[in-house]
Amino acid sequence: MASIPYFLFLKAIIPHLVIFAIYARLQEEGFLSLGCGRAPEWTYPDAWGIQWVSDSGYVSGGTTYNLPNDDAYLPRRTMRLFQGNQSKYCYNLSNNAVRLGAAFLLRVYIRPGQTPPYTPKSANGTMVFKLIVDANEWSTVSVAVNETYDNEAYVRSQGDFISVCLARSTPDGDAPFINTLELRPLPASFSSVQRMSSTNTILTEVQHYNMAPLEVSLISYPPDIADRYWRNIALDDNGPFYKINLSDIRNLTRPEDIDIAPSTLFQDSWKGSPYLSFYWTQLVPSFTFSMQFYFAEIDPQVNSTGARVFNIFINGLQETSFVGPVDVFAAVGANTPYMVSGGADSDQSGTLSVNLTPSVQSLFPSFLAGIEKFTPTRLEPLTSSHIVAAVEALKSALNLTSYTGDPCLPEGYGYEWMNCSSRDSVTAILLSNSRTGGIIPDEIRSLDTLLEIHLDGSDLQGPIPDLSALERLEILYVDSTSDSYVR
């Protein structure tokens, strides 16, 4: 029985016809590929038609670091390191594709190299820090010297930019760093995108598996127009596998419920003997995951309905099997991509086993071409727009523009010089002895839930604006060109 970590299976299936992508000569509109720590003028067109640019125009702060003697893919040979004390450091990603409600794939690549820029805090040599997207915690990075960490998420934009942030796990934790950051538009027709919209979620810890022999390499762009990374999961190289020429895979479409998958995914299929059995461990216990499984009937001997029919069982229990048997030929015919999707719960130990078992009447064993796994996470709304507008004015007036991302969220990762009680409430400005300079902007009056303002020792200039609208204000410390005041 094969074992794959961090995986879950489906509780119910929804059939879909799948179409595959055609190779493109130019990158898709909306692609954004950032080489982190590169000089502002740096660009790099790679062999697959993807245009890489420097991250310098998308982030504030951090220092650049070259990975010496590193043979990684060129854009990954530098990093941006954030050693300061800000609560988080954020990339604001925007282009002509980023608009309210649009869906995107985000991908980070993190590699400290052979000689990392600092000694990890952990005794085991692992560097640990946080990834954040908008108001959601995305993932905890854990990476050792000369190892790599990469992660994908599917997100929906809540405005005209998406914030991807890095933060220490604790105030004295490891400094975060990043090598590359990628943004890829996702078609609205994707089942996963429609599921995000209908359930108000984002999908984190996204994984794509190609059930192919060991010699088959990574599938990505341009075969996959969304540039998903389909990884070979290193099954037994001796097979058994079904194989077919790419030219024999049909390119069929229909207007509704179309999912686009790379044609090369369906060139090989893992063949059961007669069943397929595998399991995953280290999942979140008792959690509902989302999955998509891909098939194409590429065996020429299967030429009629009922020739290959199989059921999918979860954790060995027939009562938790999929709704109805799977008969790919009956659904779409031969050499045609097909997908089933749905959700299922992990067990209390975080382990899940899957068995694809042919029916008694089936003449052929079960099979499988590819899998996608997603972790649904509730989409957290951003801090209220009137608070964001006031904080932006405050940042500009007090020379705090290096702070980006959501000012209050996620909880514990808002700006450290503010206290927020919720997305709708700022209760304190804490900038004593900050030496920021600047002035107190009139927009501070719109933060009407403020209880405390500490701006003493900030080297402010100009008068204190009328703060009578701040009816809840209890403490005000200011030494601009005037006085200090306590109420």
Question: Looking at the structure, do residues 163 and 233 belong to the same domain, yes or no?
Answer: no
pLDDT tens-digit map of 225-279 = 999 999 987 555 455 667 766 666 665 443 344 577 888 899 889 999 898 887 8
180 lies in the same domain as 36? yes
Domain check: are 334 and 355 in the same one? yes
Do 145 and 280 fall into the same domain?
A: no
Domain stop point among 143, 170, 185: 185
Residue 286 exposed, middle or buried by CB count within 10 Å (0-12, 13-18, 19+): exposed
Residues 206 and 107 in one domain: no
Pairing of strands 103-110, 149-156: antiparallel
**134 is a domain residue:** yes
Based on the fold, state whether residues 213 and 338 are members of the same structural domain: yes
234 in a structural domain:
yes
Q: What is the rounded CA–CA span in Å between residue 310 and residue 357? A: 5
The model carries a pTM of 0.90
pLDDT at residue number 467? 95
Instruction: Give phi and psi for 306, each to the nearest 5.
Output: 90, -10
What single-letter amino acid sits at 181? Answer: L
Retrieve residue 30's tokens. 């909306």
Q: Are residues 160 and 194 in the same domain?
A: no
In the chain, the number of structural domains is 3
Assess whether 98 and 145 both reside in one domain: yes
User: pLDDT for 44-92, tens place per residue?
Assistant: 999 999 999 999 999 999 999 999 877 788 999 999 999 999 999 999 9
CATH of residue 138's domain is 2.60.120.260
Torsion, Cα of 7, 11, 14, 16 (10° steps): 20
Domain end (from 332, 356, 378): 378
Residue at 264 is within a domain? no
Q: Which residues pair with 154 in a beta bridge?
A: 105, 203
Listed residues 378, 399, 422: the one ending a domain: 378
The answer as to whether 257 is a domain residue is: no
CA distance 390 to 442: 9
What range defines the domain where residue 433 resides?
385-486
Residues 343 and 223 in one domain: yes
Instruction: Answer yes or no: is 248 within a domain.
Output: no
Residue 260 falls within a domain, yes or no? no
How many Cβ atoms from other residues are within 10 Å of residue 430's Cβ?
Answer: 14
Q: CATH number, domain at 404?
A: 3.80.10.10
Query: DSSP secondary-structure letter at 465?
Result: P
For 143-181, what is each residue's pLDDT tens digit? 999 899 999 999 999 999 999 999 999 999 999 999 999
For the chain, what is the radius of gyration of the CA atoms?
26
CATH number at residue 358: 2.60.120
